[in-house]
Amino acid sequence: MSSKNDLPQLEILPKHVAIIMDGNNRWAKQRKLPSLAGHKAGVDSVRAVLEVALQQGIEVVTLFAFSSENWKRPAEEVSGLMELFKWALRRETKRLHKYQVKLKIVGDRTAFSNELQQLMLKAEALTANNTKTTLVIAANYGGRQDITTAARQLALQVSKGELNPEAIDEQKLQQYLAFEDLPDPDLCIRTSGEQRLSNFLLWQLAYTELIFVDAFWPDFRQQAFYETLKVFISRQRRFGGREETTAS
């Protein structure tokens, strides 16, 4: 993260950008490298995206780092990803703090090692009062899991007589979601050419603009992110309403 590659300031920006970082394995395979090399190269793309977010003034960037389904991958790859996660937290947290980035990690942490959980807590504590941009890492996260957990919390309140079922509405359920204190994403980007959400932020993406780019995640750097923001600006968001027309 630096100011070396400043890009022209955009007038309209998404407050919250969510990214499905896809294509690390295929990037590595093309280069006859182990899959972990692709994941490690992807860390540089995280830095690149954050650099543009900071420069442009984007409030929140959420990255889908590890889904609740990713445990099904080969054990060697999962183990390598856990080590990479620890490496990235140790190496990048001070950099995030320097640039006033607040780190928030969402998802079920209980499946992670105690060492990794402690690193998460320390990174969040160090950056807790930063106000420039919030970086959200979704780790062991799934959209269906998120909604199910919220529903369970509401059901528990109903069973205890603390909540009338008639009082349950969207706002009440959202209070128990992992992103309850953040605005819904305005833009969701998926790299590598795949066009699906893969159980990511299913509730929160209801009216989000979706942009699918062909580049593998390790190749998605500053200019690519900037161009994607420009595509977002060109769209008219209607949130279920009708496009406004101007009388001539």
Query: Any idea which residues carry the catalytic annotation?
Result: 22, 70
Contacts 24+ apart (CB under 8 A), 121-124: 122/89, 122/93, 123/89, 123/93, 123/96
Spatial distance between the Cα atoms of 146 and 90, rounded to a whole number of angstroms? 27
CB 124 within 8 A of CB 155: no
Residue 151, amino acid: A
Nearest to 225 by CA among 24, 9, 51: 51
SS3 call for 149 = helix
Quote the CA–CA distance of 60 and 217 in Å, as a whole number: 19
Distances (CA, A) of 138 to 141, 156, 245: 6, 25, 39
Burial category of 205 from C-beta neighbours within 10 Å (exposed 0-12, middle 13-18, buried 19 and up): middle
Taking the C-alpha atoms of residue 153 and residue 145, their distance in angstroms, rounded to an integer, is 12
